[in-house]
C-alpha cells in the first residue's frame, strides 16, 4: 500500500549482525502489526503495537512505535539464519482493524 | 493451541468456474478477516465478519461473497473465476476486544 512504506526493500546481513526495518505511515496508526512470511506461506504474527512510545520484545526481536504513532521499527539483534524471510508491517489506519500492508522487507542472513 | 485452519490448501479451477474457500478461526475468536495476496504483492483486505455479521468491506469483487456461520467458521465463495483471481487467500481471526490478528496458512488458488 502507498499509505504504508517499508524500508529497506531487501536486506542481506552476516549472521550475528544487528538490523533494523522501518515502517512509515501517512496516517495515524490505530494499530501496527509485524508479521514474518516465508515465501508463499502464511503470515506469522510477531507483535502488535498500539500506544505511542510502546516497545515490545520477543526473543531477539524488538519493535517500537513512535510517539506520534506514524512510524514503527523492527530491530533484530544478533541475527541468525532462522530470521530469514519476508517481514511485513500491517497497519490499522481506520480504527476498524482492517489492515493495510507494506510491500515487505526480504531478509537474508548468511552464515 | 490450534491456529487458524484453512481448506483447501491448494485449489485449481478453470475460468468461469466457482470456488469455495473455508476458514476455521482460533477457538473463541469471533472475528474473521479475508485477505488476497497476488504474486509478489502485499495482502489486500477483502472482507471481515464479527459475530456472523459483515463488519467491514474492502476491495472484494461483486463476484465474491462470504459469510460467517454460527460456529464462527467462514466461507469465501468465488464465482465466474478469472485468471486474475489466482492468488493466495488468507483468513485471519481475532478475539473480542483484542486486535491481534492471527493468519492461517492460506489457500493457493490457481485459475487456468
Task: Decide which of B30 and B97 is more confident.
Answer: B30
For the segment B47-56, what is each residue's pLDDT rounded down to a tens digit? 999 999 999 8
Asked if the model's pLDDT at residue B101 lies above 90, the reply is: yes
For the segment B59-78, what is each residue's pLDDT rounded down to a tens digit? 899 999 999 999 999 999 99
Task: Decide which of A74 and A1 is more confident.
Answer: A74
Q: Residue B50: phi, psi to the nearest 5?
A: -130, 125
Asked if the model's pLDDT at residue A23 lies above 80, the reply is: yes
For the segment A65-108, what is each residue's pLDDT rounded down to a tens digit? 997 879 999 999 999 999 999 999 999 888 778 899 999 999 99
Q: Residue A53: phi, psi to the nearest 5?
A: 85, -5
CB atoms within 10 A of CB A56: 14
CA distances in angstroms from B53 to A94, B30, B47, listed in the order given:
19, 10, 11
According to DSSP, the β-strands at B53-57 and B107-111 are unpaired
Sorted by where each starts, the structural domains of chain B and their CATH numbers stand as 5-111 (2.60.40.10)
Query: What is the predicted pLDDT for the residue at A9?
Result: 95
Least confident piece of the model among A14-18, A48-52, B23-27: A48-52
Q: Which CATH architecture has domain A4-66+80-106?
A: Sandwich (2.60)
Who among B56, B100, B102 is closest to A96 (CB)?
B56
Mean pLDDT over B85-93 rounds to 97
CA A20 to chain centre: 9
Domain residue limits, chain A: 4-66+80-106
* Residue with grid cell 497497519, as numbered in its chain: A91
Who among A97, A102, A103 is closest to B101 (CB)?
A97
Q: Return d(Cα A47, Cα A82) in angstroms, integer.
A: 17
E-strand ranges in chain B read 5-7, 10-13, 19-24, 29-37, 44-50, 53-57, 64-68, 74-78, 87-95, 102-103, 107-111
What residues in B contact A40, CB-CB < 8 Å?
88, 108
Do residues B7 and B96 lie in contact, with contact meaning Cβ atoms separated by under 8 Å? Answer: no
**Cell triple for A97:** 482493524
Mean pLDDT over B3-25 rounds to 97
User: Partners of B105 in the beta sheet?
Assistant: none
Query: What is the predicted pLDDT for the residue at A41?
Result: 85
Who among B31, B56, B101 is closest to A33 (CB)?
B101
Task: For chain B, list residues whose CB is within 8 angstroms of any CB belonging to chain A.
Answer: 31, 33, 35, 42-45, 48, 55-56, 58, 88, 90, 92, 94, 99-106, 108
Q: How far is A89 from chain B (nearest CA, A)?
A: 10
Q: Return d(Cα B48, Cα B99) in angstroms, integer.
A: 13
* Contact criterion met (CB < 8 Å) for B56 and A48: no
Amino acid at each position: 500500500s502507498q499509505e504504508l512504506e517499508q524500508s529497506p526493500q531487501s536486506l542481506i546481513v552476516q549472521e550475528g549482525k544487528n538490523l533494523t526495518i522501518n515502517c512509515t505511515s501517512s496516517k495515524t496508526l490505530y494499530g501496527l502489526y509485524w508479521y514474518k512470511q516465508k515465501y508463499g506461506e502464511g503470515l506469522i504474527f510477531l507483535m502488535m503495537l498500539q500506544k505511542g512510545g510502546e516497545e515490545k520484545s520477543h526473543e531477539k526481536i524488538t519493535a517500537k512505535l513512535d510517539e506520534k504513532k506514524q512510524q514503527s521499527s523492527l530491530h533484530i539483534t544478533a541475527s541468525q539464519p532462522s530470521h530469514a524471510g519476508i517481514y511485513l508491517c500491517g497497519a490499522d489506519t481506520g480504527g476498524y482493524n482492517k489492515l493495510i500492508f507494506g510491500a515487505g522487507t526480504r531478509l537474508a542472513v548468511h552464515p | 493451541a490450534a491456529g487458524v485452519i484453512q481448506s483447501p490448501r491448494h485449489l485449481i479451477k478453470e475460468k468461469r468456474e466457482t470456488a469455495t474457500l473455508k476458514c476455521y478461526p482460533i477457538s473463541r475468536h469471533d472475528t474473521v478477516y479475508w485477505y488476497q495476496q497476488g504474486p509478489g504483492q502485499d495482502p489486500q483486505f477483502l472482507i471481515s465478519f464479527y459475530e456472523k455479521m459483515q463488519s467491514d468491506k474492502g476491495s472484494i469483487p461483486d463476484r465474491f461473497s462470504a459469510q460467517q456461520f454460527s460456529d464462527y467458521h467462514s466461507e469465501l465463495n468465488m464465482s465466474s473465476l478469472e485468471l486474475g483471481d489466482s492468488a493466495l487467500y488468507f483468513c485471519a481471526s481475532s478475539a473480542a476486544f483484542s486486535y491481534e490478528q492471527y493468519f492461517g496458512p492460506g489457500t493457493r488458488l490457481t485459475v487456468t
